[in-house]
A and B are shown apart, each in its own frame.
Chain A
């Protein structure tokens, strides 16, 4: 009896979490434009996406921002995690505090605070401001992920390398980096996902000249539901799914 309650509770919640997404994906392949009745399998909406230059541009913009910002955040965050784990420096506590406060603070506060910074500094909103904002919100995730991995291995390995005459960059690139690589890759993939999906922060820091996909979807949905949006959302969901699955696999590897 108890087991039965558990199974039905868990499956109901999963149905709630996945049902709407599933419906969205199925209907992206629906022939019909206006009704929700199924009128046969079709790739019409995917084809019409390919002809929509505005959406394609936004998609390329989104991918560019996500790629560059996730790469930069991963490089910098890996160094940051390394700094926290191995070095003592003034302001370490403040740094740690800032890392966590970025993760906890509401997106909208970060969005408006960066908006004010950019406008006051006279920086034109667009690709550059988006990049800076996305690096900033991805950075803490990379630092925390990589730090957990660094903290997990034996420091004697590093001492041994130093005793054997390895120089500092050799210690980092030949010893530490290969050991933390899974966490670094996971951090990169998750940053990519975060960047690709962000709505709230991007909303405040992008300009009219540089459109990105989530904001485009947002304005399209506000105007009304079109089957192209279903197809677009399905593509984005599948991309996220792939990134998360690979990242999860990489993080799990470390425990073995």
Chain B
């Protein structure tokens, strides 16, 4: 083996082995174990069974899945509603201001979501800043209970995930050719028509990318309902966590994880469908 091949071997082998051992193998374990039977001492055992998937659609657990999907869906809509205009205005900001403004979105993107969730706890607790201000201003006569409500969970999810929606949206909106909008306007389109027929279709890949990056994590962020919500509010993430750490039911927890993986595959398929159609229409 000459030196070039040796170098290539190390570079390829090291990475391939790592991903095979710590991504592929555990991933296959999740899928495999979801079809096995629960065992108290060894966590899983033969025979193969579909029971855990049957249980997932059992009304008791189906409700958890449905709740979590509703939370994720609403969070995604809220992020899109807040983030789209934001990304649009950002992409139209004067060129010299844009790097700083963009940086200000990137900082929360990287900052620990736990710290940011904790910051919300301080604001929203009964003797927190919001209540102190409301009481002092005489707007309310007794503290408003915000913490441990659905409202708090939504605020927490949106607060944590909004930057993940804004960044992909900004990436497509910034590249948008302004001349296309001018052309539409010259041809007599009003603002709404320009948006619906020009801006929105061209930004669709960014919309989808943002939705994936919000919707999927929103199913799994178990510490947000833990810290901000009451016990009733439960995401798939809380459910999986309980199966592994409280009940010790690996196969059932794995089945719920497979559900998340299938959602991911579905959303990625939609993303690739949109962007390939998008690329084709760009070419023609």
A residues engaging B (CB < 8 A)? 6-7, 9-10, 13-14, 16-21, 23-24, 27, 34-37, 76-77, 79-80, 82-83, 87, 89, 91, 95, 98-99, 101-102, 104-110, 112-117, 119-120, 132-133, 135-136, 139, 143, 167-169, 172, 190, 193-194, 196-197, 199-200, 203-204, 214, 217-218, 221-222, 225, 229-230, 233, 236-237, 240-241, 243-245, 248, 252
Contacts and interface: CB of A to CB of B under 8 A. Distances in A.
Given A6-B92, A17-B162, A112-B253, A167 B219 contact: no
Given A79-B10, A83-B8, A240-B110, A23 B22 contact: no
Contacts of A233: 115, 118-119
7 contacts: A18-B108, A21-B119, A95-B15, A101-B27, A116-B250, A168-B3, A204-B245
Given A21-B111, A108-B260, A117-B25, 8 more contacts: A9-B89, A13-B82, A36-B129, A112-B244, A139-B19, A197-B111, A199-B114, A221-B118
Interface stretch (B49-57, B59-67, B99-107, B275-283): B99-107
A157 to B, nearest CB: 17
A14 B7 CA distance: 47
Contacts of A14: 104
Contacts of B194: none
B31 to A, nearest CB: 9
A116 B15 CA distance: 22
Contacts of A225: 118, 121-122, 125
B26 A116 contact: yes
Interface in B1-41: 3-4, 6-8, 10-12, 14-16, 18-19, 22-27, 29-30, 33
A20 B123 contact: yes
A58 B111 CA distance: 19
List the 9 closest pairs (A to B, CB-CB), nearest first: A113-B26, A197-B112, A20-B119, A80-B15, A6-B89, A108-B220, A106-B220, A79-B11, A83-B11
Interface of B: 3-4, 6-8, 10-12, 14-16, 18-19, 22-27, 29-30, 33, 43, 82, 85-86, 89-90, 92-93, 99, 101, 103-108, 110-116, 118-123, 125, 127-129, 132, 159, 162-163, 212, 216-217, 219-223, 226-227, 237, 240-241, 244-245, 250, 253-254, 257, 260-261, 264, 268
A7 B94 CA distance: 12
Contacts of B120: 20
Contacts of B22: 114, 117, 132-133, 135-136
A17 B108 contact: yes
A135 B18 contact: yes
Contacts of A9: 85-86, 89
A21 B118 CA distance: 9
A113 B250 CA distance: 10
A105 B23 CA distance: 11
B3 A169 contact: yes
Contact of A79 (B15, B86, B107, B250): B15
Nearest to A87: B8
A116 B114 contact: no
A109 B216 CA distance: 11
Nearest to B243: A112
A17 B221 CA distance: 18
Contact of A237 (B25, B111, B222, B227): B111
B216 A104 contact: yes
A240 B162 contact: no
Nearest to B20: A98
A229 B125 CA distance: 15
Given A10-B86, A136-B22, A244 B107 contact: yes
Nearest to B271: A104
A25 to B, nearest CB: 9
B122 A102 contact: no
Nearest to A73: B18
B24 A98 contact: yes
B7 A172 contact: yes
A237 B110 CA distance: 10
A104 B227 contact: no
B121 to A, nearest CB: 6
Nearest to A241: B107
Contacts of B115: 21, 24, 197, 217, 233, 236-237
A99 to B, nearest CB: 7
A112 B257 contact: yes
Nearest to A139: B18
